């Protein structure tokens, strides 16, 4: 015959009672913690498992287990579930390491036509070849498990992140030369602000080409916005191509004025035509310093021969390093011009496109902006 249950004496400090009282009234804590806090507080008032269970609507054995946990591990520790061992992992650490190393290879290196792995393909390969590699635990591997293993190791074999290989051994030296030109611009600006006039007659121009500007025509008229109907212009998806144009432009870093030339192509003869445009824009005694990239038209024999025929000191060229066109300030102007003028432009012919581009350049020159280079400028000698 079972004996009477003995009441368990459970001592609590004032801090523990205050913490349990706050938890028992909480609306944000997990329900299990709130219930256990109420059990312990009720048991403190009436040390009877059955009475507390009847009051709270739970089985008396539930109350007994909660009180015994509080006695064994502490009042506040009894509010949480005890850690459980869980199921033993079936995939060994060695198999996970093999799978991760496999994901770091390309799928094509293992005989697949795919360039990169997909998680389904990786799971299938592991199921088919895992046993041969000594990992029989991967026989039933599924895609979801592959995702979890790779996510834990922060591996994403299905994605590509691009980088730029440094292919110019003299990159730092050439970058320093460009930065020195920008430094000279800052010195000339400060000298002009103090004396209200330029010292040495010099013009510093950042120049480049923007090829492939498409002359695209609509096949149906654009529909204007209508309040309450559609907020933007409506345009038919079909269009007609009329060819492309190239914009050769240079921005004077001291005045903000843009010199531009629009042609069908951008060969050496077009670049020489642009140089002649610059030559006519500045007085004879002005030294014109150009910042430009290593495009073939800039270093061709035809261009070099024309430059050699000019007076000494008239043109001075500073080239950006290979893959260093971002050092050329004109690229920022091209980006802004493309976003403000060229984006979504529609014309009926290449002639109209040329006129629109030159009108945009004229609009810029009506309110010229003097651009300032700041990146690593303090490091320039």
* CATH code, domain with 205: 3.30.420.10
Whether residues 183 and 237 share a domain: the answer is yes
Residues 6+ apart with CB under 8 A from 344: 235
Whether residue 7 is contained in a domain is answered as no
Q: Does residue 223 sit in helix, strand or coil?
A: strand
Whether residues 110 and 49 share a domain: the answer is no
- For the whole model, what pTM was predicted? 0.69
Burial level of 303, CB count in 10 A (0-12/13-18/19+)? buried
**What would the two tokens of residue 88 be?**
């033993």
- Residue 201 has a pLDDT of 87
CA distance 8 to 16: 18
Whether residues 247 and 339 share a domain: the answer is yes
Q: Does residue 269 sit in helix, strand or coil?
A: helix
Whether residue 360 is contained in a domain is answered as yes
Sequence-separated contacts (24+) of 163-170 with Cβ below 8 Å: 164/323, 165/323, 166/323, 167/322, 167/323, 168/321, 168/322, 168/323, 168/324, 170/321
Per-residue pLDDT of the chain (381 residues; tens, 9 = 90+): 455 566 778 888 899 999 999 999 999 999 989 999 999 999 888 888 898 888 989 998 998 899 888 888 888 888 888 877 778 888 999 999 999 999 999 999 999 999 999 999 999 999 999 999 999 999 999 999 999 999 999 999 999 999 888 888 888 899 999 999 999 998 888 887 777 555 568 999 999 999 999 999 999 999 999 998 889 999 999 999 999 999 999 999 999 999 999 999 999 999 999 999 999 999 998 999 999 999 999 999 999 999 999 999 899 999 999 988 899 999 999 999 999 999 999 999 999 999 999 999 999 999 999 988 888 777 765
Convert 337-354 to b/e letters by CB count within 10 Å (16 or more is b). Answer: beeeebeebebeebeebb
223 beta partners: 234
Whether residues 314 and 357 share a domain: the answer is yes
- Residue 349 has a pLDDT of 94
Whether residues 252 and 318 share a domain: the answer is yes
Whether residue 369 is contained in a domain is answered as yes
Residues 6+ apart with CB under 8 A from 102: 110, 122, 125, 126
CB atoms within 10 A of CB 313: 11
Whether residue 40 is contained in a domain is answered as yes
Whether residues 241 and 362 share a domain: the answer is yes
State how many domains the chain has: 3
- Residue 285 has a pLDDT of 87
Full residue range of the structural domain in which residue 103 is found: 93-152
């Amino acid at each position: 015959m079972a004996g009477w249950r003995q009441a368990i004496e459970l001592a609590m400090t004032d801090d523990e009672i205050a913490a349990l009282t706050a938890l028992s009234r909480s609306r944000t804590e997990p329900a299990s913690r709130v219930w256990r806090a109420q059990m312990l507080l009720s048991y403190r008032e009436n040390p009877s498992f059955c009475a507390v269970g009847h009051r709270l609507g739970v089985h008396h054995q539930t109350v007994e287990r909660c009180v015994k946990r509080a006695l064994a591990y502490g009042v506040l520790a009894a509010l949480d579930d005890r850690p459980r061992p869980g199921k033993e992992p079936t995939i060994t650490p060695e198999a996970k390491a093999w799978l991760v190393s496999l994901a770091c290879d390309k799928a094509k290196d293992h005989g697949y036509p795919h360039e990169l792995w997909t998680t389904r393909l990786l799971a299938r390969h592991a199921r088919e070849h895992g046993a041969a590699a000594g990992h029989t635990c991967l026989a039933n591997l599924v895609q979801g498990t592959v995702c979890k293993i790779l996510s834990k190791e922060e591996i994403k074999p299905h994605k590509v992140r691009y980088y730029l290989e440094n292919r110019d051994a003299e990159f730092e030296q050439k970058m320093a030369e460009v930065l020195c030109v920008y430094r000279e611009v800052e010195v000339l600006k400060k000298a002009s602000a103090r004396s209200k006039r330029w010292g040495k007659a010099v013009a510093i121009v950042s120049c480049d080409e923007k090829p492939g500007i498409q002359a695209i025509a609509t096949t149906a008229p654009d529909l204007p916005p209508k309040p309450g109907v559609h907020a933007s212009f409506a345009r038919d998806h079909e269009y007609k191509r009329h060819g492309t144009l190239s914009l050769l432009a240079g921005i004077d870093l001291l005045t903000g004025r843009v010199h531009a030339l629009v042609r069908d192509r951008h060969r050496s003869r077009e670049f020489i035509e642009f140089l002649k445009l610059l030559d006519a824009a500045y007085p004879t005694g002005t030294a014109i310093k150009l910042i430009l990239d290593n495009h073939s038209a800039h270093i061709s024999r035809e261009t070099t021969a024309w430059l050699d025929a000019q007076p000494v000191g008239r043109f001075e060229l500073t080239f950006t390093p290979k893959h260093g066109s971002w050092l050329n300030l004109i690229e920022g102007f091209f980006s802004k011009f493309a976003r403000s003028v060229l984006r979504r432009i529609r014309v009926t012919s290449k002639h109209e496109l040329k006129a629109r581009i030159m009108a945009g350049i004229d609009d810029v020159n009506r309110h010229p902006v003097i651009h300032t280079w700041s990146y690593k400028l303090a490091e320039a000698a």
